[in-house]
Amino acid sequence: MKCEDSSSQDGVLYSQLSHLYERVFDRVLGPRIRWTIRSLNIPPGARVLELGVGTGLSLEAYPETAEVTAIDLSSEMLEQAEKKVRQHGWQHISLRQMDALNLDFPDAAFDYVMAFHVASVVPDPDQFMCEAVRVLKPDGLTVIINHFRSENRLLAPVVDLLNPLTRRIGWRTDLRYADLVEKHPLSVQDRFKTSRPSLFTVVVAEKLSGDSDRRLRGEGSATRSCSIRPWKSIRQACGGNDVRPAKEDPAGRRRSRTGRPA
C-alpha cells in the first residue's frame, strides 16, 4: 500500500556541496557507516535498498553477492557515486535518482533498507519512514544511523537553540528517536552509539509480520535502551583507520546479524 504523498526532499543544498561532502564527511561519517554494513553479514542474494546514498561513502562495504539499489535526489551526488561504481566495476550496485519520500518500488521489495544520516535532512521524516517500512519485506531489517534529540533534560534545550540555524542549511537537531521509529511496525534489535561522545545513534530494526493487526492493537516498536559500542576497541581489533570488525570475535564465536557475538 502506497504511503500518503508528501513534498519532495530538497536536494539543492547537497547538490551544491557534493564535492565538499566527499572530502569532509568521508572521514567523519564513512568509517561508522561501513562498519555498520559489514557487521550485518548480509547474506548472498539479499536485496538491499539504500536511501540517500549521496556520493557513495557506503558502497565499498556491500558484499558483491548482494543486489544493492541506492537512490538519491541529487544528480550531482549520484554522479560521484557513479564514478565509484565504474571505477571499481561493481556490477551488484544500481544507482537511481529518486525521492525517498515517494519511492518507485512495490511493497515488500527489499530484505534490507538502509538510511544513513538522511532522516534529519528530509522535510517529512515520518513519511520517509513510512516509505522505508512499506518497501521492506516482513522480517526484513531497516538500519538507521542518525542524530536524535538528546534525552538529557539539560542538554536537549541547549541543542534545540541551534535548530533554527541548522534548518537553514537543511539539517534539523530536534528529531526525536520515538517520533521516527516507534510509530512504525518495527521491532528494534539493536540501538547503540559507537562511543560516549558520539552524536550519532545506530538503530537496527526488524519489520514485524502482520503489521496492520499489531498497529490496531497498539503494539508499537519494541525498543531497547541505547548502549555504547567500544569504538576504540573496535578500531584496535580491526588494525586500521577504517572500522572493519572481524567476522569472529576473539573467542571464535560467530557474530549475529547485528555484529554482536551470537
Instruction: Over range 125-150, report the average pLDDT.
Output: 92
Q: Is residue 37 part of a domain?
A: yes
Tens-digit pLDDT profile for residues 95-111: 999 999 999 999 999 99
* 243 found inside a domain: no
pLDDT-derived band of residue 241, with 50, 70 and 90 as boundaries? very low
Residues 6 or more apart whose Cβ sits within 8 Å of residue 106: 135
In a domain, 77, yes or no: yes
Task: Provide the number of structural domains found in the chain.
Answer: 1
Is 5 domain-assigned?
no
- The region of weakest confidence among 34-48, 160-174, 220-234 is 220-234
Q: Is residue 4 part of a domain?
A: no
For 148-176, the pLDDT digits (tens) are 865 656 654 555 555 455 445 555 566 78
Q: Could you tell me if residue 133 is inside a domain?
A: yes
- Is residue 249, in this structure, part of any structural domain at all? no
pLDDT (average), residues 178-204: 89
* Separation CA 29–CA 120 (nearest Å): 14
* Structural domain that includes position 184: 12-238
What percentage of the chain has pLDDT greater than the value 90? 48
The pairing of beta strand 201-207 with beta strand 136-146: antiparallel
Q: Is residue 168 part of a domain?
A: yes
- CATH number reported for the structural domain that contains residue 72 in this entry: 3.40.50.150
